[in-house]
Structure 1
């Protein structure tokens, strides 16, 4: 029987992405389960290399050989993994849009920025030439690019890094998508523009019931923007929950370490906690729990077996055999 969540919004089940390399098979994302309801903002959090960007690209079917993607991805009940390429092409940019992490490589260097916005509008709307130009100017203004009439004629190399990121956001928002996959959308922006962009995304979420999957390493952005969050480590989701719940009581040692590394404004003299060690090699993951070499709570069980993502409350789950002990330890800090 199909549930309401499976009929509307984004549903991901068992999404796994691997890459064949000279050193073996790299498991970039493994058994990803993710639900995003209409109008919901879900944050994907983790260190670089944890699989966040690959997960977004896998959802959009943008992973090319030697990458292999398997699993189930549905958008409003439609199968994106098995969808014909032409149907998926019509869906991208209209209903589903993506903000890429590196605008200099995502933008076409030989086309003016205005033409790249116009391409999207021409492909997915019935607007005439003048209406498309007016819409492009409106989008450039919304994302904070000054003198939009002039900048539309310029090329990506004539924009600063922050300006290129804003142009990329304008292209993604051109057709008012219903699902936005945002890969570090505010990384290159100063705090003022970052705040404006985040407020814009939330405003579009409210007006259009737009769903957002936001990849970020900035927990401040997560606190300001997201309803729920999923923490990723070594290609797997290790903890999920609402933002207030996860921030208040993390149940995975990795989440605890991430939160402990952020300064607390209410307690300026509190020592910051760090996570010892480095992320594992994706072609040679350790046996058992991938986090156990860096974990103070690890036992022989963690070294032998991989913990499943276990549900322990409404909307809460953690992939840790000792998650209750981790939560109690957090409460004592």
Structure 2
């Protein structure tokens, strides 16, 4: 499923590029990202730390401040968020598009009760009176499964557990029933039981509210269990896209193949897990050609000289690799 430019409330990202001025020079954090998210669709962004996933979400939301610079086009309901005046963008942010940040303890205000932080969004984007806002805040706490919700509204973030803080963050994001939710590693640092509860909650809310979701994670298991489509990022660029089933079944980029090779497979013969040698490149000193070539066993001279374009291999499959056929053939042998 993909959204076309200007159709409905799908998200269409074209050529999104985010640069940061640093003492070491210009850092290219996100480069020429194209991404479509259809109504009610859940799309995963996966990659190592520093690959550009979180910056992509913040760029879409218009949260990049100086010394950062964002160019490209982010269309939402026929409107370009990148070119939009700040005041108009503030009316969309929090109402039509909401974001769950990676660490709730730093995203939540430690000196304000959770209930008041929930109501702030309602004050900014609705005409509800004080009693109606309180009722809506209580409803949201119940929706996300926070027990003793009426009492917890008056408590502070430090009085919540990690899982309950994450649920409170989700409640704040959902206050105005957004049509697009950007979730930046919403299960990081949570134990597996709470992680499973949060992911099931997001799926339930996606279905109940017909909400689109972009989910950032480095956990391929989370992608497999929740997303319809996925995009793999490396050094600020999308290097492979497709349905979750297609990418897991036959990765066509060496980086994707390496990520999948580092994850145990159910039912597979017991063997050593593989790893990707080396480390991601610095954003101020990216290598020429394909950024992954110093770590790639498939690299040839063309990889060191030219950057591979993100080419289409079918309706919902794209890859940026000169040797994607060799990668697919190698995977088929395993």
TM-score by length of 1: 0.96
Cα separation, 2, equivalents of 1:316 and 1:87: 35
Query: How far does the alpha carbon of each residue in 1:191-217 deviate from its partner, in whole angstroms, 9 at most, with x for none?
Result: 333223222222222233211110011
Q: Which residue number in structure 1 is paired with residue 172 of structure 2?
A: 171
Secondary structure in 2 matching 1:204: helix
CA contact (8 A) 2:6 2:79 kept: no
Q: Which residue number in structure 2 is paired with residue 46 of structure 1?
A: 47
Q: Which residue number in structure 1 is paired with residue 12 of structure 2?
A: 11
Matches within 5 A, 1:108-127: 108-127=109-128
Matches within 5 A, 1:185-204: 185-204=186-205
RMSD in angstroms over aligned alpha carbons? 1.4
Unaligned runs of 5+ residues in structure 1 are none
Shift of 1:78: 0.8
CA contact (8 A) 1:140 1:167 kept: yes
Residue correspondences, number: 331
CA contact (8 A) 1:5 1:37 kept: no
Is 1:207 the counterpart of 2:204 in the alignment? Answer: no
Q: Which residue number in structure 2 is paired with residue 153 of structure 1?
A: 154
Cα separation, 1, equivalents of 2:5 and 2:269: 42
Cα separation, 1, equivalents of 2:269 and 2:302: 37
Shift of 1:319: 0.6
Cα separation, 2, equivalents of 1:284 and 1:262: 29
Shift of 1:147: 2.1
Secondary structure in 1 matching 2:6: helix
CA contact (8 A) 2:258 2:275 kept: yes
Cα separation, 2, equivalents of 1:292 and 1:34: 24
Cα separation, 1, equivalents of 2:49 and 2:192: 21
Shift of 1:268: 5.6
Change (3 A) 1:305 1:228: same
CA contact (8 A) 2:40 2:211 kept: yes
Q: Which residue number in structure 2 is paired with residue 227 of structure 1?
A: 228
Shift of 1:283: 0.4
Matches within 5 A, 1:81-120: 81-120=82-121
Cα separation, 2, equivalents of 1:209 and 1:328: 38
Secondary structure in 2 matching 1:26: strand
Cα separation, 1, equivalents of 2:269 and 2:146: 36
Unaligned runs of 5+ residues in structure 2 are none
Cα separation, 2, equivalents of 1:109 and 1:270: 47
Shift of 1:149: 1.8
Cα separation, 2, equivalents of 1:268 and 1:191: 25
Shift of 1:134: 2.4
Is 1:75 the counterpart of 2:76 in the alignment? Answer: yes
Matches within 5 A, 1:59-74: 59-74=60-75
TM-score by length of 2: 0.95
Query: How far does the alpha carbon of each residue in 1:139-188 deviate from its partner, in whole angstroms, 9 at most, with x for none?
Result: 22332322222221122233233322221111001111100000001223
Query: How far does the alpha carbon of each residue in 1:48-79 deviate from its partner, in whole angstroms, 9 at most, with x for none?
Result: 00000000000011000100000001101111
